Structure 1
Amino acid sequence: MKTRFSFLLLGTFVFYQPGYANAAGVNAGEQDSDLPAWASERVEPLRERIGLWVDGTSRSIDSFFGTQDSLDVDNESYLRISQELDWMEGEGFNNDFGLRYRIDLPTSEERLRLIIESDPEETQGTLAEQGSGRLTNDQRDRRTSTLGLDWLESRDKRDNWSNRVSAGVRLRLPIDPYVRFTSKRLWQLSDGPWQLESNNRLSWFNNEGYFARTRWDVGRPLSDAQHLRFITNVQWREEEDTLEYSETAELNHRLNERSALRYSAIAIGESASHPRMTNYYLQTRYRRDLHKGVLFADVIPELHFQRETSYDPRWAMSLRVEMYFQKQLAENYFD
């Protein structure tokens, strides 16, 4: 199995290199796409048709609750469809289809914004379940769409704490009301290249209780193409009643305008009274913009050392394809 895994990983990386793509019949003149001409001719009309529908629907709802300016302002609504294949040594394969959306209604009020979205942060499970970014297939709970009002402060997080208060309901039966408070801050450290960002959330769902999470991210650019980050997460959910924490060292490397690599070393632990580490793992994530900021592919190999398996090394692998639908093409979905 490990031999087949190595060949699969090697073959996938080779396939995604631009030179191989052109040799495989991709139109060399299409510098923003790896797709052959026949595939591009089918993807573009589909992307434009659904993207216009997403944009038009959100602006129609916005004009009902807000003002006629909804036809002109920037709108960040989107729809994302993904297909993911996961493999973990000793557990076999898992194939998942994901759907995520966000309907943005920016003119409902200057600071009071109506938001409809799927997969809120509170429903994404434990830190171990969120874990590596390979588990972003939106399959943890398909009943997590929320409808709510966000009150936003106009303050810049680089100068002051930027706060947001939200209230609404989760769209399922029985109705699940929630209240949420989010606070963010960004500091430039000693006028140097290092930046420290804090992102904090406290929320309450009627059916699941309280949720608290704090994230501290310190990093600096190493060059125009490389960025180093150290990330600390601490999370507590009343439903689990366990304090969790994780430490991540991460090096992001942009290979070119359409490809990026991320190297990560992650440690995950739990419990405040009797702290213990439950998982260490190494991860490499290769992300490729296959077509014009619309179609993306990820290759994510991992090596895990888990407490439950006596820290014996176990390989994991994810292959993911994502397609975004919105009116304007995305400039950057690598972050």
Structure 2
Amino acid sequence: MKFAEPLEGRKLSVLLENAASREAKLWKVYVPKKPSNQDTDISPAQRDEAVRWLADVHHQLKLYPETLCLAVSILDRFLSAIKARPKYLRCIAITCFFLAAKTSEEDERVPALRELVSSSKCGCTPSEVLRMERIVLDKLGWDLHTATPLDFLHIFHATVFSCKAVRLSGVLSALDRSQHLALLTQELLHCLSHNALLPVRGSTLALALVTLQLEKLCPDWLAVTADLLRKAQIVSSELIGCRELVSRCLSTHTASLPPNTVYICQPLRPPPPESCASLPLRRKPSTKRKVEQMDVDEYFDGIKRLYNEDGPQEGGSSPCPALQPVTMS
């Protein structure tokens, strides 16, 4: 696969490598257990409720999507490191949100702590948030600079659109790319409130969202996906399982553009005759970094089994539920 600009391709590769390195260093799977005592353990449902509440606060304050993604990342890292009581969950969540805002937003956009506590109705005082802030920072080693799923989503999306060989069936033009990324971001934010995806790395979650869209828009999406898998060093079986989880999470979600979106009318153009160029089955590993070799045919077979395309099976049932299409308006 050839990039439109070699320098652009190298920059994206460096960004992906740095993000993967940060993720490998700081990411730790958070698997919430079923609480043994309702008063002493935070349940998966309570965690999801806290994330949805943060999403409402984020929407009310109109902050960057990066702020919400980082807040959820800090929250999950903290909950995986300590055992907290449910009555402190909102105080912990709003503290993580405040830390994320101070990290991601410009100074003039960071909400004042007193106003944040008042508008969010978190049920705690500013002094309690400040005390909790010190606890969170101590438990996380004062290191909040982690790679979020949104970071990987931006990198994968830019990588797909910087490739000359990719032809998205004439559906998306250069003017539509930001809108397409906005819809993917909405889907990602929706997935963050589902604890079923907590065992999944952010890089795998982002790649699953991108490839689900590629499947609908690119005739040769499997070849593009295989190339992204090699670049990100993600195991194909993990991606297949994540795609199924993401499809279930998005089955009841309808992404939409913001109400102030400006639509540009363009005449329809027929898709270009050429399709995505075929990728070689093997690629020589880089001298700087060993890249996991993957048989493209093996990955294709995994996708076929997932979609039950190998032929009818006994009983007429597929090994797993069919993927639900993601609709966009």
TM-score of the alignment, normalized to the shorter chain, above 0.5: no
Q: Which has the higher strand share?
A: 1
Considering Cα pairs closer than 8 Å and 6+ residues apart, tell me whether 1 or 2 has the greater RCO.
2
What TM-score do the two structures reach when normalised by structure 1?
0.26
What TM-score do the two structures reach when normalised by structure 2?
0.26
